[in-house]
C-alpha cells in the first residue's frame, strides 16, 4: 500500500512516499481504508519535532481522517466490514497509525460512525478541531458536560478566531446546542466565514471598541470563551467574561507570554482552563466523539459553510503540511484512496 512516512524530525521535506506492508488488526482493533486524510497544526508540529518527545523510528503523519472499515480484529463489536467511519487521534501513541496512508490499523475507540449522507471530507475535518471545540464548550463551571440540542440555550459563547478549523467547529457545535455565538475575527473576509459557520455576531478584535461591541450582545458578560491566542487576547477576554465564566485555551497563536494580575481574575471567579486532546480524560473523549457524531448534520464543511477546503493528492502531503504551517485559511485535506 502507499504510505507517507518519516524517520527523522524536520521540515516537510522529511516526508516521503513509500510502499508499505499493511498491518493486520489485533484484538480490539480495526483496519480502515483511508479515503481522505485531514491535516492539523499538531501534525506538522509533531513532524518538525516542535512537540515531539523523541525522534521517530518510523512514523506516518496525520491524526484525522475518514474511510471504510476493511477488517475487524477479535472482540470488536458495533462495527462491520464496509462501515463508513471518521477517525481521531490516529497517530497518538501509535506512530504508524497516521492517516496519510491507504490502510491504517487503529484501536476501536479511535473509530467513529460516519453514516450517510455525511461526506468523507466532513469526516476528515472532524477529529482534532471538533473534539477540541467540544472540550472547550464543556469544561466551564455551569456549562453542560455533554452537548445536545438545547444544552447551551440561554448561554453566550465567544469564539476567538472564528475563521479557523477549531473556531469553525466551536461555532457550529455551540449553535447546534442552542447558544448565541460571537466570533472575533481580523478581517471582513474572515467575518464572512464565521457568519457562514453560524455565528450571529462578529467583532474585529483589532478595533478599539471590540469589548463594547461584545458587551452589547452580552451585557452581563459571555459565559464561555474558546481561545486560541490567550497571550494576546486575555485583556479583551477579561473585559467581556461574566462572573464565574470560563476561558478554554487550546492554543497561543503568536506565542505572546501570558501575564496577568491575579486579583481581577479572582474577582470574576474566572476559570482559565487549558485544553489538549492528548491528555483529556478518556471518558471525555468518548463523550465528545459521541456528541460530534450526533451533530454531524449541523457540521457542514466547504466555503459555503465557512470552512474552505484545500485538496492535495497523497504524493503531495509535504505541500499539504506546508500549507497548514503557512496559515492556510480553511481545512487542508489529502485524497488518499477511492471511496
Band (pLDDT 50/70/90 cuts) for residue 51 is confident
Task: Judge whether residue 55 has pLDDT over 80.
Answer: no
Mean pLDDT of the chain: 96
pLDDT of residue 141: 85
What percent of the chain stands above pLDDT 70? Answer: 99
Q: Which 3 state secondary structure label does DSSP give 154?
A: coil
DSSP string, 87-109: E-STTTT-GGG-SSBSEEEEEGG
Task: Judge whether residue 54 has pLDDT over 90.
Answer: no
Q: Where are the domains of the chain?
A: 2-125+307-335, 129-278
Domain 129-278, classified CATH 1.10.260.40, yes or no: no
Cα 112–Cα 98–Cα 42 angle in degrees, nearest 5: 95
Average pLDDT of the residues in 241-261 = 96
Task: Judge whether residue 292 has pLDDT over 70.
Answer: yes
pLDDT of residue 268: 96
What percent of the chain stands above pLDDT 90? Answer: 96
Band (pLDDT 50/70/90 cuts) for residue 56 is confident
Assigned architecture for domain 2-125+307-335? Alpha-Beta Complex (3.90)
Average pLDDT of the residues in 11-24 = 97
Convert 240-307 into a string of H (helix), E (strand) and C (coil). HEEEEEEEEECCECCCCCCCCCHHHHHHCCCEEEECCHHHCCHHHHHHHHHHHHHCHHHCCCEHHHCE
Task: Judge whether residue 98 has pLDDT over 80.
Answer: yes
pLDDT of residue 226: 98
Band (pLDDT 50/70/90 cuts) for residue 53 is low
Average pLDDT of the residues in 157-176 = 96
Task: Judge whether residue 339 has pLDDT over 80.
Answer: no
Average pLDDT of the residues in 88-115 = 97
The contacts of residue 261 (CB under 8 Å, 6+ apart) are: none
Query: For the segment 181-229, what is each residue's pLDDT rounded down to a tens digit?
Result: 999 999 999 999 999 999 999 999 999 999 999 999 999 999 999 999 9
Query: For the segment 142-151, what is each residue's pLDDT rounded down to a tens digit?
Result: 899 999 999 9
Amino acid at each position: 500500500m502507499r504510505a507517507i512516512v518519516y524517520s527523522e524530525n524536520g521540515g516537510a521535506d522529511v516526508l516521503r512516499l513509500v510502499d508499505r506492508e499493511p498491518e493486520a488488526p489485533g484484538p480490539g482493533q480495526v483496519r480502515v481504508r483511508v479515503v481522505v486524510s485531514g491535516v492539523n497544526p499538531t501534525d506538522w508540529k509533531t513532524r518538525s519535532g516542535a512537540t515531539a518527545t523523541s525522534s521517530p523510528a518510523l512514523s506516518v503523519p496525520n491524526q484525522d481522517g475518514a474511510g471504510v472499515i476493511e477488517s475487524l480484529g477479535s472482540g470488536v463489536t458495533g462495527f462491520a466490514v464496509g462501515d463508513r467511519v471518521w477517525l481521531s487521534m490516529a497517530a497518538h501513541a501509535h506512530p504508524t497509525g497516521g492517516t496519510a496512508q491507504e490502510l491504517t490499523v487503529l484501536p476501536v475507540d479511535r473509530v467513529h460512525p460516519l453514516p450517510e449522507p455525511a461526506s468523507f471530507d466532513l469526516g476528515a475535518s472532524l477529529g482534532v478541531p471538533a473534539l477540541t471545540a467540544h472540550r472547550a464548550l464543556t469544561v466551564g463551571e455551569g456549562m453542560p458536560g455533554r452537548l445536545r440540542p438545547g444544552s447551551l440555550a440561554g448561554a453566550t459563547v465567544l469564539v476567538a478566531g472564528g475563521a479557523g478549523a477549531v473556531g469553525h467547529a466551536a461555532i457550529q457545535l455551540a449553535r447546534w446546542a442552542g447558544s448565541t455565538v460571537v466570533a472575533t475575527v481580523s478581517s471582513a473576509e474572515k467575518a464572512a466565514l464565521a457568519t457562514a459557520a453560524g455565528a450571529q455576531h462578529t467583532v474585529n478584535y483589532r478595533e478599539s471598541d471590540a469589548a463594547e461591541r461584545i458587551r452589547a450582545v452580552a451585557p452581563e458578560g459571555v459565559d464561555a470563551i474558546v481561545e486560541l491566542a490567550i497571550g494576546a487576547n486575555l485583556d479583551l477576554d477579561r473585559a467581556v467574561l461574566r462572573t464565574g465564566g470560563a476561558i478554554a485555551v487550546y492554543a497561543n497563536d503568536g506565542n505572546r507570554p501570558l501575564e496577568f494580575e491575579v486579583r481581577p481574575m479572582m474577582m470574576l471567579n474566572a476559570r482559565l482552563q487549558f485544553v489538549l486532546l492528548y491528555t483529556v480524560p478518556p471518558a471525555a473523549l468518548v463523550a465528545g466523539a459521541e456528541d460530534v457524531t450526533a451533530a454531524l448534520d449541523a457540521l457542514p464543511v466547504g466555503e459555503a459553510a465557512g470552512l474552505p477546503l484545500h485538496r492535495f493528492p497523497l504524493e503531495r502531503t509535504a505541500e499539504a503540511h506546508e500549507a497548514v504551517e503557512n496559515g492556510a485559511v480553511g481545512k487542508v485535506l489529502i485524497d488518499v484512496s477511492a471511496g
